[in-house]
Structure 1
Amino acid sequence: MTMYIGEMDGVGFTLAIGALKALAFLYDVITFPVYVLLQRPWRKRQLARRIKGVIVATETEQPNDVRIDMKGNDIDITNHFRDPLPPSKLNKAKPITQDTKSITYRSVEEPQSHHVTLVREGIDTMPKMFDYCTKKYPNKRCLGTREIMAEEDEVQPNGRVFKKYVMGDYRWKTFAEVNMLATNFGRGLRELGNRPGQNIVIFAETRAEWMIAAHGIFKQNIPLVTIYATLGDEAIAHGINETEVTTVVTSFELMPKFKKILALTPRVKTLIYMEDQLKSLDVSGLNGYKDGVQIIKFADVLKKGAESTIESIPPSGTDTAIIMYTSGSTGVPKGVILLHKNLITTLKGFCDSTAIYEDDIMIGFLPLAHVFELLVETVCLLTGVPIGYSGALTMIDSSSKIKRGTKGDASVLHPTCMTSVPLILDRISKSIQEKVSKGSNLKKVIFKFAFDYKTKWTRRGYSTPLIDRVVFGAVRHLMGGSLRLVVSGGAPLSPETHEQINNCLCVTIVQGYGLTETTSCACVQDFYDNTFGRVGAPCTICDIKLVSWEEGNYRVTDKPYPRGEVIIGGDNISAGYYKLPDKTNEDFVEAEGKRWFKTGDICEIHEDGVVKIIDRKKDLVKLQAGEYVSLGKVEAQLKTCPLVDNICVYGDSTKHFCVALVVPNPPQLNELAEKKGIKGKEFEELCSDKEFAKSVLQELADHGKKSKLEKFEIPAAVKLVTDVWSPDTGLVTAAFKLKRKDIEEHYKSDIVQLYAS
């Protein structure tokens, strides 16, 4: 963890640390026996070390379900759950030969109760799943939306005026109410002329109406087309036109976009909008929409459905549930076809991998247009956990739309679970560091000591309740004070951020790995795994095949760990890309009775069967001198530098070094400028100062060395950019992954200048 202790007197610092260590030692001596008895740390260490994934035997003489440990020994998985394997079960199968080109891995975990329930009840579609939930939890809270009572002007000390919300409590709909609304919405769509099998788009931000609309669409066997609310007009029009939809469901806030989009989408005849809570404007009275397009309120569709006698048309497991448009890190977004059986399969895997209980509360804010958020929320529905919706503008007390002195959504909801993406966690991590760096020297010393103390005992299997309450209590209350579990996906999470958030927010971050093409499921980190930088063992519902990639020098025979491209197989694998048969045949394959997807990601698999993503085929650049540079790996390390908000590393194979485009963190940039004696310059001026850029480059180089990057991996020139890379700029995806080609095109002249310098 990076901490800036500042100009503190060396003797004073030593005395302060000495006093804290003495107090901690005395506390440890007194409390150690109690903690040992209450916390049973040996159990946690045992669970952390257990084997989680094994090799599937391919020898013809082996039984059908023989699995092998990392040393090539046979494992009997009967009744094998959460306990280390007995030695008597480890000496039967032949070792893997050294010339093997691929190895297949499988989970050793047993299906958990909700997985078993889905199988026992014959649930193979989303409507069957929600009908089951409604019968089991009819009167429990299901979906919650916080009331917006009014919007008021708030005058800042500098005289600027901002619009702020006056907000009330969460209003909840029960499972029975949500099911009824979904049924009515589906019937209402049928009354408007939409037929089973005819695609419908939802283009809206995450909210309760999104989930209600989706389940209404599922009930009528209508394929749901999901498009990120942050995509540009052309990408949105592409998804709408390619799927030939005539009806689009959107929100009041996004309606103005359709003044342009409707001109690009000639088939669209109906626009349904989810109402604005404030109801400050009547959309039907707005001008500028294309003639001949029916604009109708969400509530009016519900009303039509409530009066309708049309019956639901249940889908089968092999029917298309979703055509999910990826955010497109390269080229035009592709529509990934996800069947109902794909969704239910991943749901089973997530139920086995995530520790969510009936008394939890989920805060939902990531895009439901991505299957990761949709299915984590579906796990909550299956377990009877209420979901309260939020957004970036209202989530915490300091959010931009929260009136001064009032509470953000998290402080009202007190969630225990949430999903996140690494970029958001990186920002939280840097905000914690920034807040600490602005505190007094004594506070910095106490915070760093507490962090190191907690890190030491956590790694040994203990919790630190006193430190959590006294030192980290204020940080924990940023998210309501009850948060215990964060599920992270969408991109690799840096080990430094992972450990810092775990410690400072007093939560467990479970990192997962998957792709839209695998219905977001492949690996999920074990709840007891206390290591960082790994994405977990294979989920219970799929296999992971490791295939040698000779060009990149990654082989399954590598030591100490086998390495290669990740290929995922199982019932969670997509049916393919919508209207792209050639691309489907290129990336998907049928073999060994399974459907497989070639991810392009490179991983190594450790002795306990846990996967670590180490590279990506498309991110690998070969420099002039022959060295391979993994751009993604370098970016992940340099992004943990406090100066960096975002970074894109570029490598030209005709050159012998890399360069970088950096979105700097303004407070940290100003702090560095002060250290260098630069005063009075605005952020934009600092970014354009070429001499100052050399100081930033040196900071990156120092950070890269600490992160154990090779010299040739560290950028030799850097350009500081003032633009924030958000999805609406078209430079990052809705999941905040870099769109390399777009960034390279946008900054083409800057890259040329960097190499010229």
Structure 2
Amino acid sequence: METEKSKDVSIDVKGNDSTNFKNHFRDPPCKVEKARPIQQDCKSITYRSSSQPKELHIALVREKIDTMAKMLDYVSKKYPNKRCLGTREILAEEDEVQPNGRVFKKYDMGDYRWKTFSEVNILATNFGKGLRELGNPPGQNIVIFAETRAEWMIAAHGIFKQNIPLVTIYATLGDEAIAHGINETEVTTVITSFDLLPKFKKILALTPMVKTLIYMEDQLKKLENTDGYKEGIEILKFGDVLKKGAESKIVALPPKGDDVAIIMYTSGSTGVPKGVILLQKNLIATLKGFCDSTSIYANDVMIGFLPLAHVFELLVESVCLLAGVPIGYSGALTMIDSSSKIKKGSKGDATVLRPTVLTAVPLILDRISKTIQEKVSKSSDIKKILFKFAYDYKTSWTKRGYSTPIIDRIIFAPVAKIMGGNMRLMISGGAPLSPETHEQISTCLCVTIIQGYGLTESTSSACVQDEYDMDYGRVGAPCTICDIKVVSWEEGNYRVTDKPYPRGECILGGDNISAGYYKLPDKTNEDFYNEEGKRWFKTGDIIEVHHDGVIKIIDRKKDLVKLQAGEYVSLGKVEAQLKTCPLVDNICVYGESSKDFCVALVVPNQHQLKELAERRGIVNKEFEELCQDPQLEKAVMQEIAEHGKKGKLEKFEIPAAVKLVSEVWSPDMGLVTAAFKLKRKDIQERYKHEIKRMYAS
């Protein structure tokens, strides 16, 4: 089969042919140095990007844009009549009778309705002035507690324009964590959505300072009454605030670069959420870094669905706005044709929008990967052989820097149509993406996946992978706005003198580094410091730096457990490997220093578990019963052990006992964060008896 070598590295997304989801021509992975040491001693090495600023970064500097308010004004003048933010129209909600007689509520949906850049800027201006009319002055914190949607972005920019610090809280957090963020920041006004109003009814009892609720309206339903809300609370529609602002004579008080833009509450994996203080200049620094590291063009279309309360999604969407890219909003219930709210015969958001750019977290990509594996496993033997040949053929040529347009069109195009058939770029963040998932999604969906590394404390930026880097498992070189210092960690036996690569704790420095934690001076002083005019943050992540200056995350200080025999086990590393096992939907590995082995709590994949049970002669049992079956538990243990060996885990790293858990871990249970990172202490507390039994066995 013919392959073609690239002569042009640009990616064409103009043609809307369903097979034109990716340019047929690719360059081989760059071998050039991505970062170089700028300072070095026996205990640390500091690396800086070798890349040069690109066009959008230069434009931000040239136009003296140092705040988000200036950024929106700039793009609204540059692209006044271009599509900016889009919302899918919901025409009606209908009852749909299923073959088993059950009735589900489904949406009859229309097209996307768009607001131009100019309209978004006017709406943001009016919303900010409306808040001022309601008595919220510059400098007084205000909360957005809502799902990702166009109104979220409009409200945020309205708040930025008036130099009001925006407090962001995940909509999936528990009531006490939400109340903690609201009370700690002493807000009196909360912006939420119609769907979340019932949840907020209960939270109001825990937040005595809140006097005003502003809700983003629903397309079909109206707020009939306000019974059950605490006395004295004022409830306003989003549109009411826009109207007040449009009639207002208030003069805007725009922020400066050193003013607080966001207090972002991270759903931390330990303890109560911490508020991370992000300045306007932090956001602009990350914008510059992302513009230099990602290939986003004015003719792209982004589908937005990750939480905007997560700094990663907010900044990627902001890069899209800066590049003049329209953003169409979606959600898990309506994204694809088979989503639970899409009525039979109707199209999901991705099919209608036909996006080219998407952000994702590894958990979502892992699920897509397992869905692909499941479909292949159910196909005929001939189809399996054909698929394996096509997969091996494509990965072989891709690693050499070639594309496979014919194989893509014949074998992989139907899979790519799930996301509209035009997808070319997926940006993964929030946690490490396994090399296996990275390769499979990239191959089968015919997309480029780049993963980045960053934290809320670094305004989500630190490293971004080069899109032509075929060495999966690396997170890229330092961004142009951020230096990376690797410091020896003697306790973990990671040193900058290690061969072949320097290893140690990752410390980040630059204009993207947060001012610290809100009302937590001791914790701020512990994790942050200033040196030689630069702000630095200790990440706790252990990295190795390859010859080309690209970073690989290999461990985490807090995830390291020392077993009885003296071996160190990186729980996160083991979990990342075992999560690629088809049987595993989620896993939490636990180790005690008084024992010589680890154990694991496993949330199994329902379909895979039932198939395994049938192969073992266990039939006519519900999923919950299967999870309690000791025979099946042993079978899962064997499968996981084999998978671990194939993944080159050491014997002591592979759990010696497992407990199957039938409940899916979700943020509202408090067992994972909104970015789906494990909350180890909460999981261990919930399953302490099961852990005790595993060790006793």
TM-score category (smaller protein): over 0.9
**Take 1:352 and 1:564, find their aligned partners in 2: how far apart are those partners?**
26
**Take 1:45 and 1:347, find their aligned partners in 2: how far apart are those partners?**
26
Residue 648 of structure 1 aligns to a residue in which SS? Answer: strand
**Take 1:268 and 1:574, find their aligned partners in 2: how far apart are those partners?**
27
Deviation of 1:674 after TM superposition, in Å, equals: 1.3
CA contact (8 A) 2:28 2:401 kept: no
What's 1:612 paired with?
A: 552
Amino acid aligned to 1:537: A
Matching residue within 61, 74, 80 for 1:132: 74
Matching residue within 634, 637, 641 for 1:697: 637
**Take 1:511 and 1:328, find their aligned partners in 2: how far apart are those partners?**
21
Greater mean alpha carbon deviation, residues 672-681 or residues 368-377: 672-681
Matching residue within 217, 230, 233 for 2:159: 217
C-alpha change, 1:136 and 1:39, in structure 2 (3 Å) is: closer
CA contact (8 A) 1:688 1:720 kept: yes
Deviation of 1:39 after TM superposition, in Å, equals: 8.7
What's 1:417 paired with?
A: 357
The answer as to 2:214 corresponding to 1:272 is yes
Q: For each residue in 1:466-502, what CA deviation from the matched residue of structure 2 results, as whole angstroms up to 9, or x when unmatched? A: 1111111111000000000000000000000000000
**Take 1:721 and 1:237, find their aligned partners in 2: how far apart are those partners?**
30
The answer as to 2:263 corresponding to 1:281 is no
Q: Note the 1:34-433 alignment, pairs <5 A.
A: 35=5, 47-57=29-39, 100-278=42-220, 280-283=221-224, 285-433=225-373
Residue 287 of structure 1 aligns to a residue in which SS? Answer: coil
Amino acid aligned to 1:139: N
Q: For each residue in 1:508-539, what CA deviation from the matched residue of structure 2 results, as whole angstroms up to 9, or x when unmatched? A: 00100000000000000011111100000000
Residue 552 of structure 1 aligns to a residue in which SS? Answer: coil
Which stretches in structure 2 are left out of the alignment for 5+ residues? 11-22
Q: Note the 1:722-733 alignment, pairs <5 A.
A: 722-733=662-673
Amino acid aligned to 2:405: P
The answer as to 2:478 corresponding to 1:496 is no
What's 1:678 paired with?
A: 618
Matching residue within 666, 674, 684 for 1:744: 684
The answer as to 2:647 corresponding to 1:707 is yes
Residue 419 of structure 1 aligns to a residue in which SS? Answer: strand
Deviation of 1:48 after TM superposition, in Å, equals: 2.1
**Take 1:281 and 1:590, find their aligned partners in 2: how far apart are those partners?**
51
Matching residue within 575, 584, 587 for 1:647: 587
Task: Return the index of the structure with the highest Cα Rg.
Answer: 1
CA contact (8 A) 2:9 2:27 kept: no
**Take 1:289 and 1:171, find their aligned partners in 2: how far apart are those partners?**
33
What's 1:468 paired with?
A: 408
C-alpha change, 1:241 and 1:466, in structure 2 (3 Å) is: same
What's 2:696 paired with?
A: 756
Deviation of 1:678 after TM superposition, in Å, equals: 1.4
The answer as to 2:488 corresponding to 1:548 is yes
Q: Percent of pairs identical after alignment?
A: 77
Amino acid aligned to 1:692: L
What's 1:70 paired with?
A: none
What's 1:485 paired with?
A: 425
C-alpha change, 1:46 and 1:418, in structure 2 (3 Å) is: closer
What's 1:76 paired with?
A: none
Greater mean alpha carbon deviation, residues 444-453 or residues 633-642: 444-453
Residue 550 of structure 1 aligns to a residue in which SS? Answer: coil
**Take 1:366 and 1:500, find their aligned partners in 2: how far apart are those partners?**
22
**Take 2:472 and 2:330, find their aligned partners in 1: how far apart are those partners?**
29
Matching residue within 467, 491, 498 for 1:558: 498
CA contact (8 A) 1:45 1:460 kept: no
**Take 1:589 and 1:564, find their aligned partners in 2: how far apart are those partners?**
18
The answer as to 2:508 corresponding to 1:568 is yes
What's 2:20 paired with?
A: none
Deviation of 1:302 after TM superposition, in Å, equals: 0.4
**Take 1:481 and 1:497, find their aligned partners in 2: how far apart are those partners?**
20
Superposition TM-score, scaled by structure 1 size: 0.89
Residue 491 of structure 2 aligns to a residue in which SS? Answer: helix
CA contact (8 A) 1:39 1:462 kept: no
**Take 1:164 and 1:143, find their aligned partners in 2: how far apart are those partners?**
24
Residue 256 of structure 1 aligns to a residue in which SS? Answer: helix
What's 1:515 paired with?
A: 455
Amino acid aligned to 1:515: L
Amino acid aligned to 1:151: E
Residue 661 of structure 1 aligns to a residue in which SS? Answer: strand
Deviation of 1:286 after TM superposition, in Å, equals: 3.4
What's 2:15 paired with?
A: none
Deviation of 1:35 after TM superposition, in Å, equals: 4.7
CA contact (8 A) 1:221 1:313 kept: yes
Greater mean alpha carbon deviation, residues 180-189 or residues 438-447: 438-447
**Take 2:112 and 2:26, find their aligned partners in 1: how far apart are those partners?**
37
**Take 2:251 and 2:170, find their aligned partners in 1: how far apart are those partners?**
30
What's 1:666 paired with?
A: 606
**C-alpha RMSD over aligned residues:** 1.3
**Take 1:346 and 1:35, find their aligned partners in 2: how far apart are those partners?**
34
CA contact (8 A) 1:48 1:530 kept: no
Deviation of 1:567 after TM superposition, in Å, equals: 0.1
Residue 566 of structure 1 aligns to a residue in which SS? Answer: strand
Amino acid aligned to 2:78: K
CA contact (8 A) 1:52 1:109 kept: yes
Amino acid aligned to 1:254: L
**Take 2:340 and 2:222, find their aligned partners in 1: how far apart are those partners?**
22
CA contact (8 A) 2:509 2:534 kept: yes
Deviation of 1:327 after TM superposition, in Å, equals: 0.9
Deviation of 1:257 after TM superposition, in Å, equals: 1.1
What's 1:14 paired with?
A: none
CA contact (8 A) 2:28 2:402 kept: no
Amino acid aligned to 1:50: V
Moved over 6 A (4+): 36-41
Deviation of 1:562 after TM superposition, in Å, equals: 0.5
Deviation of 1:680 after TM superposition, in Å, equals: 1.3
Deviation of 1:287 after TM superposition, in Å, equals: 1.4
CA contact (8 A) 2:487 2:504 kept: yes
Q: For each residue in 1:63-87, what CA deviation from the matched residue of structure 2 results, as whole angstroms up to 9, or x when unmatched? A: xxxxxxxxxxxxxxxxxxxxxxxxx
Deviation of 1:38 after TM superposition, in Å, equals: 8.2
Matching residue within 398, 404, 423 for 1:458: 398
**Take 2:277 and 2:271, find their aligned partners in 1: how far apart are those partners?**
18
Matching residue within 511, 515, 518 for 1:578: 518
Deviation of 1:544 after TM superposition, in Å, equals: 0.2
